[in-house]
Amino acid sequence: MSLILFFIFAILQSSLSVDPSNFKTCEQSSFCKRCRSVKPGQSHYAIIPGSLNSYSDSVTLELVNKENQHKFDLKLTGLVKGNNFRLEIDEKQPLSPRYRVTDSLKETPTAGQIKVIDTNEQLTVSIGPNKAVFHSEPFRIDFYHNEILTTSVNSKGLMKFEELRSKPKPVESSENQEEQQPSVEDEPGTWEENFKSHHDSKPKGPEAVALDFSFPEADILFGIPEHADSFALRTTHGKGDPYRLYNLDVFEYELNSRMALYGSVPVLYGHGQRASAGVFWNNAAETWVDIHGPESNVVSSIVKFVSGSVKSDPYAAHFISESGVIDVFILMGPTPLDTFKQYTDITGTVPLPQQFALAYHQCRWNYNDQKDVITVSEKFDEYDIPMDTMWLDIEYTDNKKYFTWDKQKFGDSIEMIKNLTDLGRHLTIIIDPHIKREGGYFFHDDCTNKGYYTKNKDNNDYEGWCWPGSASYPDLFNPEVRKYFADQYLVENFKTYTKDVMIWNDMNEPSVFNGPEVTMLKDNLHFGGWEHRDVHNLYGHMQLVSTFDGLSRRDPNQRPFILSRAHFSGSQRYAAIWTGDNKADWEHLEHSIKMCLSESVAGFSFCGSDVGGFFGNVEAELFRRWYQAAAFQPFFRSHAHIDTKRREPWLFPEETRLIIRDALRKRYSYLPLWYTMFYEHETVGLPVMRPMLAQYPHDKDAFAIDSQYLLQDKLLVRPVMQQGVNKVDVYFPVKDDKTGDLWYDIDNYQKYENTGYISVPVDENKIPIYQRGGTIVPKKERIRRSSPLMIHDPYTLIVALDKNHQAKGTLFIDDEKSYEYRSGKFIYTEFTFDKDTLRSKFIGTPKYSTNSWLERVVIAGLNRQPKQAKITYEGKTEELDILENAHGAITVRKPGSNMAKEFTIQLIY
Ligand SMILES: *[C@@H]1O[C@H](CO)[C@@H](O)[C@H](O)[C@H]1NC(C)=O
């Protein structure tokens, strides 16, 4: 019976695209509706006079809701890093504790020395160049960088903090219960709620928190992934639903949509020409974010009055969460890069991946058996196409029981893995959090016997439907359960795999096919008695914590690689993410960039999309264009649904195969740049993939562009994302001095020095990519079957000169695999080109040796042709030949210096 239901479900899934009616609108979500209906400009919250307490690093105050006299504690802390602020508001005496998110944070942020000035008129708290100015009634806080007001809290007066209360008795008996006197009748949905056939018992009743943030300086708001929408946030107030943050497995998701998706990262930025600022709303419950745009602002005169700002009608974001407390970090900027770094200072960065993880991944649902896996790997070699990692989706398991293999199809799993690792390749396998409820399956038996499963509201093991049929979900909020799950990754437990196998955590929203909105019931119970409602957006994150622990203990000296679908703030510390189950069409290719740009500024530098599109058969032109685009995105994996036609590159006509091969070889040639960029991401905290505004914060025309992007400040990438085009418009940005940078086409060194949109011709082999004048980019130009085999290969440096004939860049070299770089075993070099001389200089003392040497140096942008060059290293000087390239670029041949030596190369005229 149940199996039949499951198949009916599967058939339904495979024949329909997303049915939005399966997912709640704000109107159908009672807390969202209640909070969204708060009228602006009438805030009932006020600071209680005389309640101030000042400490060296924080102030505390009491707030009162003047409607019902309910009291709240407010704390504002100054943070050392970035001179940011943390604002926390909770009930003074809640009926029961309210959930506070800590797992998102890298560590408890260090508080810093603040200055407090309290006059009768107003309270000012400052740290460094930033200050917070409190207004008592109605309650509001204005945040200034220097003297510029950048963020204002509750200036629209949309704050709502629903105090926990006991459920009102029917009217007759209410006279005996003085403490319960709801001033208005509670709306339906307040104390229990139905959606479709699902009932939410809401044991604690209404407990939402909501607050608005205005950004008086902003011309654009962005952030709060994950949505299949533009990089710039749209105005939602009065224009349909807010953006929703609730980790969900949305089947065939819609584009240009604010619907929730797999991940939720509640950080939002407001940027304008004078300043940038951000807010990180640290709450893991279901959250909606209503965007008030200048044009929809109905109380502009009030805002103007209170903010005193030149912009009378600022952008604002109204955050609405179902439960928890208000815990928000105000990121004070003042530049976009500052705010991005301030966010990763709090939630962490992506740790440097192993080199192979930045190379190319080959996946489909499913490679059928061990022979299929090895054959596909061999075919890549036959066609001379580089590939690093084969992937196995759910079908490798014995009936969707994780940590087991289908013995018929993968009887020699160890040998299969060894066959891959012998070629320098890796295997990644899927481990999902739904556990098949089958007696005799050790994982299920252990979880049942030890009480490790998430409980339903009646404290019984919660059962749902997922790939295995009937399944339960480990309570990953329990540290003992996380340890148990992590232990299963140890080779002594999972004996039929090896420590070289990496892990893909999918379906971890968690996806529950028969649950409300395809996930778990909100009144389910987790460790510590918390409801699923409080922690939903963290469930996948806790799986990543566990997987990371398991892989780290499996082999302490190998950096784990994990891919996750669900994610929350901080998940970047453990896993790469991809944009889930996209579709083989052109618009999805465009969205791969929009979505990864939003993720990237929200900490997830290691982001990608399924190349070719997960659903549907991909036609050759789209497939080629997708490879060309993804070769310049951080996480690079081809993946496809089980119902699609096989799509390995050699199954397409030769022309397509060769273009794909070319795109892949280009990716491999830039691996030294990718690797260096990720090292710098980990240590500096800035995104690898950047929106134009990150580097050109004053070029207003560039703010909302999401069809092109930058890799650090080095490459400008403008993929071709339309069918049949022979030209694309590339935007060349404007610098602060109103001039443009020089840009060099990476294929032929053709120089561009105009600003604004330029129509660039493309043929099927080409997507426009430019190296910025002023940068030096490291490459390796001997492409091998997999990246580990390239470790000792020589380097090429591409020197792109700016208008002053200068350039600089960096290169990071280590063993590409272990944690030894954390104890200094690396070579980190800065290259500078000035006055016709290229110099390398170590940053720190190199404690790593390499066989790699410098094979060639290409210099673009010289205005005359040198005759010769000479290199000096280790006290000796040698003469070098020079070749001419197109567009006046030159190649200095075979400098020959080992990369662990400093050198100088001088051009001679
Ligand atoms: C491993 O490679 C060897 C040699 O090519 C082959 O004979 C064997 O069948 C492969 N085994 C598996 C499980 O892939």
Count of domains for the chain: 3
| 506 catalytic residue (yes or no) | yes
The SS3 of residue 807 is strand
Cα–Cα distance measured from residue 249 to residue 540, given in angstroms and rounded to the nearest whole number: 12
Compute the distance from residue 10 Cα to the ligand 1 centre, in Å.
Answer: 35
Cα–Cα distance measured from residue 819 to residue 352, given in angstroms and rounded to the nearest whole number: 9
At 12, the pLDDT band (50, 70, 90 cuts) reads: very low
Catalytic residue among 581, 610, 745, 793: 581
Strand partners, 270: 221, 277
Mean pLDDT score, 220-229 = 98
Same domain, 766 and 853: no
Determine which residue's CA is closest to atom 4 belonging to ligand 1.
Answer: 419
Ligand 1 closest atom vs CA 418: 1
Same domain, 139 and 218: yes
At 11, the pLDDT band (50, 70, 90 cuts) reads: very low
Mean pLDDT score, 439-447 = 98
Domain boundary among 717, 747, 772: 772
Place of tokens 């001419």: 884
pLDDT digits (tens, 9 = 90+) for 553-574: 999 999 999 999 999 999 999 9
- How many helices and strands in the chain, by DSSP H and E? 15, 54
Ligand 1 closest atom vs CA 374: 14
Mean pLDDT score, 603-627 = 98
Res 311: pLDDT: 53
Domain boundary among 321, 347, 373: 347
Chain-wide mean pLDDT for the chain?
95
At 673, the pLDDT band (50, 70, 90 cuts) reads: very high
Cα–Cα distance measured from residue 683 to residue 711, given in angstroms and rounded to the nearest whole number: 16
196 near 140, Cβ under 8 Å? no
pLDDT surpasses 90 at 314: yes
Same domain, 694 and 792: no
Same domain, 258 and 315: yes
Cα–Cα distance measured from residue 149 to residue 217, given in angstroms and rounded to the nearest whole number: 7
Same domain, 267 and 120: yes
Q: Does residue 247 form part of some domain? A: yes
At 172, the pLDDT band (50, 70, 90 cuts) reads: low
Closest by CA position to 279, among listed 129, 147, 84 = 84
Cα–Cα distance measured from residue 395 to residue 373, given in angstroms and rounded to the nearest whole number: 13
At 121, the pLDDT band (50, 70, 90 cuts) reads: confident
pLDDT surpasses 90 at 225: yes
Question: Ligand 1 pocket test: which of 409, 415, 418, 497 has the largest number of ligand atoms within 8 Å of its C-beta?
Answer: 415
pLDDT surpasses 90 at 17: no
Mean pLDDT score, 190-200 = 95
Q: Does residue 379 form part of some domain? A: no
Res 286: pLDDT: 98
Other residues' Cβ atoms within 10 Å of the Cβ of residue 773: 24
The token duo for 90 is: 């909770």
Element spanning 669, H or E = helix 654-669
At 297, the pLDDT band (50, 70, 90 cuts) reads: very low
Same domain, 129 and 229: yes
pLDDT surpasses 80 at 784: yes
Q: Does residue 901 form part of some domain? A: yes
Residues 451-477 as b/e (b if ≥16 CB within 10 A, e otherwise) read ebbbbbbeeebbebbbbbbbbbbbbbb
Q: Give residue 754's Cα distance to chain centre.
A: 33
Cα–Cα distance measured from residue 666 to residue 359, given in angstroms and rounded to the nearest whole number: 11
Compute the distance from residue 390 Cα to the ligand 1 centre, in Å.
Answer: 15
At 706, the pLDDT band (50, 70, 90 cuts) reads: very high
Concatenating the DSSP letter of every residue in 438-468 gives -TT-HHHHHHHHHT-BPB-TTSSBP-EEETT
Domain containing residue 224 = 30-165+207-347
Same domain, 756 and 881: no
H helices of 228-361, in order, are 300-307, 336-347
Place of tokens 């792109």: 800
Res 186: pLDDT: 85
Q: Does residue 41 form part of some domain? A: yes
**Which residues have any ligand 1 atom within 6 Å of their CB?**
370, 374, 412, 415-416, 419
Q: Does residue 623 form part of some domain? A: no
Same domain, 702 and 784: no
Closest by CA position to 900, among listed 844, 833, 862 = 844
Catalytic residue among 506, 523, 610, 699: 506
The CATH number of residue 700's host domain is: 2.60.40.1180
Question: Ligand 1 pocket test: which of 368, 379, 419 has the largest number of ligand atoms within 8 Å of its C-beta?
Answer: 419
pLDDT surpasses 50 at 5: no
Q: Does residue 646 form part of some domain? A: no
Determine which residue's CA is closest to atom 14 belonging to ligand 1.
Answer: 416
Cα–Cα distance measured from residue 567 to residue 539, given in angstroms and rounded to the nearest whole number: 8
At 18, the pLDDT band (50, 70, 90 cuts) reads: confident
Q: Does residue 218 form part of some domain? A: yes
Compute the distance from residue 413 Cα to the ligand 1 centre, in Å.
Answer: 10
| 186 catalytic residue (yes or no) | no
Q: Give residue 353's Cα distance to chain centre.
A: 15
Other residues' Cβ atoms within 10 Å of the Cβ of residue 863: 7
Task: Give the Cα-Cα-Cα angle 639, 225, 628 (nearest 5 degrees).
Answer: 40
The SS3 of residue 471 is strand
Domain boundary among 323, 347, 371: 347
pLDDT surpasses 80 at 166: yes
The CATH number of residue 64's host domain is: 2.60.40.1760
At 302, the pLDDT band (50, 70, 90 cuts) reads: very low
Same domain, 795 and 754: no
Concatenating the DSSP letter of every residue in 11-52 gives HHHHH----GGGS--TTTSHHHHHHHTPPTT---EEEPTT--
% of the chain residues with pLDDT over 70: 95
Same domain, 861 and 847: yes
614 near 286, Cβ under 8 Å? no
Phi, psi of 527 (to 5 degrees): -45, 135
Same domain, 759 and 823: no
Q: Does residue 140 form part of some domain? A: yes
Determine which residue's CA is closest to atom 12 belonging to ligand 1.
Answer: 416
Compute the distance from residue 418 Cα to the ligand 1 centre, in Å.
Answer: 9
Entry pTM: 0.95
Closest by CA position to 413, among listed 405, 424, 422 = 405
Res 301: pLDDT: 45
Cα–Cα distance measured from residue 346 to residue 341, given in angstroms and rounded to the nearest whole number: 9
Res 171: pLDDT: 61
Same domain, 746 and 786: no
